[in-house]
Every structure is written in structure tokens, then in C-alpha cells.
């Protein structure tokens, strides 16, 4: 519930309680007075003293009951006001904002923008990947021969609100002199590419947008930064697939241990993330046995190897390490922090070899809307000091079996039901990111 609603509702309830207590006090006084009056009448009748005392008491009784009726009317008015307030205020709030993400310091959304459906919208896609030099060739499905184009025509529509339409000039101006940083795995890189391509549609001189070190986008490079020189801001990507430190040198460990994740230490490049205005994290795709235990990577806390630790427990430990780092190192007056949840894949079996890319979104999520990684992040951020907005994209992305790279990558012999085509689903993630960001702009991006 929005803080304003809860605060004003509290005032109404408090007034209602006061009014009720006054009513009860008056009724109690009247009942006592009536009992006393009856006793006095009986006594005065016996004493033959039945003049003015009785008249005064009757006047007082009528006056007091008049006050009771006034209080009853006030209480009824309170009930009507409370009902009308609770009914009208949410509608007024949405009318003022025009979308479901409200402007509050705590990044609280009145509407759950992640509860909705995909709708066809002919104004999509928002860019052409072949005209964006920062769209990785492996994600440019149309450029790689995909012929069906329905998958690029879907827009995410929340049930009870609207995401603001993407206005590139407005976004470019809002990001002027800012630093936007993505941290995570290749899914984070695809979202980074998506945002750059979206923003480049509003830049007249494409040469004014460039990678700061002259690097080409590769899968292994640890840092990529694209500068929009005309607006003096950068959009950066740091490759940190686990977020915590990966140690290659293991002392006194079993032969099967080739490396270890230091669960209590954040990645050594984390110092590069601090002085940012917008900071977006993700992790999860590499937290699987095939990329951990099968490659000889286990877990470590302090100097101790934790060979029996489950992946779920290790991920939760790493998430707490990340949360502690954010609470300690991030300036809440400057940096708006986001964590994007796990991105569901649509493989046909567990071997990750059979990939059936559909022509339309699924009608039901078939369990892919749930992820233990997403649940862990949602749970961890509850106890953080620094406000973190969780971009819970797991459910909305679970429908999009049609939007994966499939066979339309730069390596068509290898099917891919994990990564997403560009343009496509990551664009919707960025539209939601921007809607949250601008709702809090006057508070966070000063």
C-alpha cells in the first residue's frame, strides 16, 4: 500500500476511535445520570420536594442526549469519509502519475508492473539491431536469418497500470551527465546492449556514441563502456557472473577442486561499481552444477572449503555478501540500485540441447515463473538498509518461448534457448527499469 494511503487512513481511524470513545463516555454518563435521576425522583416524591430540581435535571438530560446525537452524526460522517477516501484516492493517484510506478523514496510501486500479459503492438520493435553497432551479432536474430517477425511485436502490459511509452529524447536528457552500470553475466550484457540500442535511436550523430576503450563486444571481456558524448553519460557493463570473488589458487585442497567461489567476498572489480548513478545487478545463470562442480569449482568461506555446501545455500550466502557490500559502500543519496531476477530458459530437456522456439508466447508459464534464485533475492533485499528495487522479470519472461535466439545466432549449429533475440524481451526489462528510474528521478538522480 502507498505510504500516503496508510498515513491518511491512520488519521481517519484515529479520529473515528476518538469519536467512538466520546460517544461511549457520553452514553455512560447519561446512563449514570438517568439512574441517579430515577433515584432522586423516588426520594423527592417521598419528601414532597418535586419542583425545580426535577426541571433542571430534565433540561440537562435533553441537552446531553442532543450532544450524543451530534457525535453519532460525526461518527457516521467519519465512516462515509473513510469509505470515499479509500475508493477515490487510488484512482486520483493513478490519474496524476499516468502509470503504475509511484514517486517515493523507498521505490515502492503502487501497481505490480510484473503482473500482466503480453499484447500485440504494431509500434514495436523500438529499434533495428542491424543499425545498432552495439547489438551483438549473436543476438541479432533477424540479421541472422530469422524470417518470422511476430516475436518483435509484443509489448508487456501490466494488469492495473501502464508502463510509460519509451520517449528517447526524454530519457537522453534525464541521463545527461550520469553513469549507468550493469553488473552480471551475459544476460546482463544483452540488457546493456538493448538499452544502448534504444538510446541510439535518438542520437543524430551516431559517431558521438562509442566504446570508451575502442573494444568490440565479446563474451569474455570484463568491462565495456559506451559513452554518449553529446549528453555526457556512459552506459557500462562489468562481467561478474557470480558477483562474488572467483579464486583460481586453492591451497591444500582435493585434486577435484580447481577453483572456488569466495562466498564472503565480493568480486575484486566491485570497487569500479561504486560511483554510479544507476546500478543494475543480475546473477543466476552460472549457478548450476555444469558450470560449478563439473568444472571443478566449489565454495569457500574464509580459508575453509565448503565441499558439501549446496548451490542454493551458497547462492544465498553470496546474496547476503552482496547485500552487505551495497549497504556499506553505496551512497543512497546518489545511486539507485536494482537487482534483476532470474531469466527463465525454454529448453525441451535438461541436456540443454533441444530447443523449440515457438512462433507465439506461451499461454501459461508451465512452472517457469518460479525460480529459487529469484526467491532468494526477493527475500534478502527485505532486510537491507539501502533501498533496492527488484526487477522481478522471471514471471513475465516465462511466457516468451518465442523470443529466444534458437538457431538464429552467429553459430547456427548451436541452438540457444537461454539468450534472447534483440530487439525483444530485454527491451521490456529496460522499459520497466526506466519507468522505475524516472518515478524516483527527483529523489535519486540529483
Give residue 116's pLDDT band: very low, low, confident or very high (50, 70, 90).
Answer: very high
DSSP 409-438: SSSTTS-EEEEE-SSSHHHHHHHHHHHHHH
437/337 Cα distance (integer angstroms): 10
pLDDT digits (tens, 9 = 90+) for 135-168: 999 999 999 999 999 999 999 999 999 999 999 9
Peptide bond between residue 423 and the one before it cis (omega within 30 degrees of 0): yes
Q: Is it the case that residue 124 has pLDDT exceeding 60?
A: yes
The sign one gets for the Cα dihedral 364, 370, 371, 377 is positive
Mean pLDDT, residues 397-410: 96
In 208-296, the DSSP E strands lie at 209-211, 223-228, 233-239, 244-247, 259-266, 278-281
Q: Is it the case that residue 84 has pLDDT exceeding 70?
A: no
Q: For residues 429 and 113, is the Cβ–Cβ distance under 8 A?
A: no
Q: What is the DSSP-derived secondary structure letter of residue 261?
A: E
Please report how many Cα atoms fall inside a 13 Å half-sphere around the Cα of residue 207, on the Cβ side.
0
Q: Is it the case that residue 67 has pLDDT exceeding 50?
A: yes
Mean pLDDT, residues 68-74: 50
pLDDT for the residue numbered 400: 98
pLDDT digits (tens, 9 = 90+) for 293-336: 999 999 999 999 999 999 999 999 999 999 999 999 999 999 99
Q: For residues 150 and 424, is the Cβ–Cβ distance under 8 A?
A: no
pLDDT, averaged across the chain: 81
What is the C-alpha radius of gyration for the chain, rounded to an integer number of angstroms?
A: 31
168/198 Cα distance (integer angstroms): 7
pLDDT digits (tens, 9 = 90+) for 359-381: 999 999 989 999 999 999 999 99
Distance of CA 288 to the CA centre of its chain: 24
Q: Is it the case that residue 426 has pLDDT exceeding 50?
A: yes
Amino acid at each position: 500500500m502507498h505510504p500516503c494511503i496508510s498515513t491518511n487512513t491512520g488519521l481517519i481511524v484515529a479520529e473515528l476511535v476518538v469519536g467512538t470513545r466520546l460517544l461511549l463516555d457520553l452514553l455512560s454518563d447519561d446512563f449514570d445520570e438517568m439512574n441517579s435521576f430515577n433515584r432522586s425522583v423516588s426520594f423527592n416524591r417521598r419528601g414532597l420536594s418535586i419542583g425545580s430540581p426535577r426541571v433542571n435535571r430534565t433540561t440537562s438530560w435533553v441537552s446531553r442526549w442532543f450532544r450524543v446525537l451530534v457525535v453519532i452524526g460525526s461518527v457516521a460522517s467519519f465512516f462515509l469519509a473513510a469509505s470515499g477516501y479509500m475508493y477515490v484516492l487510488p484512482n486520483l493517484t493513478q490519474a496524476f502519475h499516468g502509470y503504475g510506478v509511484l514517486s517515493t523514496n523507498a521505490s515502492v510501486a503502487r501497481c505490480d508492473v510484473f503482473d500482466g500479459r503480453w499484447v500485440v503492438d504494431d509500434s514495436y520493435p523500438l529499434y533495428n539491431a542491424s543499425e545498432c553497432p552495439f547489438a551483438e551479432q549473436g543476438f541479432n536474430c533477424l540479421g541472422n536469418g530469422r524470417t518470422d517477425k511476430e516475436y518483435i511485436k509484443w509489448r508487456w502490459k501490466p494488469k492495473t497500470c501502464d508502463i510509460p511509452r519509451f520517449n528517447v529524447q526524454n530519457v537522453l536528457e534525464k541521463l545527461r551527465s550520469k553513469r549507468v552500470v550493469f553488473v552480471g553475466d551475459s544476460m546482463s550484457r544483452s540488457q546493456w546492449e538493448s538499452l544502448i540500442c534504444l538510446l541510439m535511436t535518438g542520437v543524430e550523430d551516431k559517431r558521438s556514441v562509442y566504446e570508451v576503450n575502442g573494444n568490440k563486444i565479446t563474451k569474455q571481456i570484463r568491462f565495456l563502456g559506451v559513452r554518449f558524448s553529446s549528453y555526457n553519460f556512459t552506459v557500462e557493463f562489468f562481467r561478474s557472473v557470480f558477483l562474488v570473488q572467483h579464486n583460481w589458487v586453492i591451497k591444500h585442497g582435493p585434486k577435484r577442486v580447481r577453483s572456488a567461489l569466495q562466498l564472503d567476498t565480493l568480486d575484486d572489480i566491485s570497487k569500479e561499481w561504486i560511483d554510479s548513478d544507476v546500478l543494475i545487478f543480475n546473477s543466476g545463470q552460472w549457478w548450476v552444477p555444469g558450470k560449478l562442480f563439473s568444472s571443478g569449482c566449489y565454495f569457500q568461506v574464509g580459508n575453509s572449503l565448503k565441499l558439501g555446501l549446496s548451490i542454493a545455500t551458497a547462492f544465498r550466502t553470496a546474496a547476503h555478501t552482496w547485500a552487505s557490500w551495497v549497504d556499506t559502500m553505496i551512497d543512497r543519496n546518489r545511486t539507485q540500485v536494482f537487482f534483476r531476477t532470474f531469466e527463465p530458459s525454454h529448453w525441451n530437456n535438461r541436456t540443454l540441447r533441444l530447443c523449440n522456439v515457438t512462433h507465439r508466447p506461451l499461454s501459461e508459464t508451465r512452472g517457469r515463473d518460479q525460480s529459487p534464485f529469484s526467491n532468494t533475492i526477493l527475500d534478502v533485499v527485505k532486510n537491507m538498509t539501502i533501498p533496492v528495487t527488484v526487477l522481478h522479470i522471471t514471471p513475465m519472461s516465462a511466457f516468451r518461448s518465442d523470443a529466444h535466439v534458437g538457431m538464429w545466432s552467429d553459430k547456427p549449429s548451436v541452438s540457444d534457448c537461454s539468450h534472447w533475440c534483440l530487439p525483444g524481451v530485454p527491451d521490456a526489462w529496460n522499459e520497466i527499469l526506466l519507468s522505475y528510474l524516472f518515478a524516483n528521478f527527483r529523489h535519486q538522480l540529483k
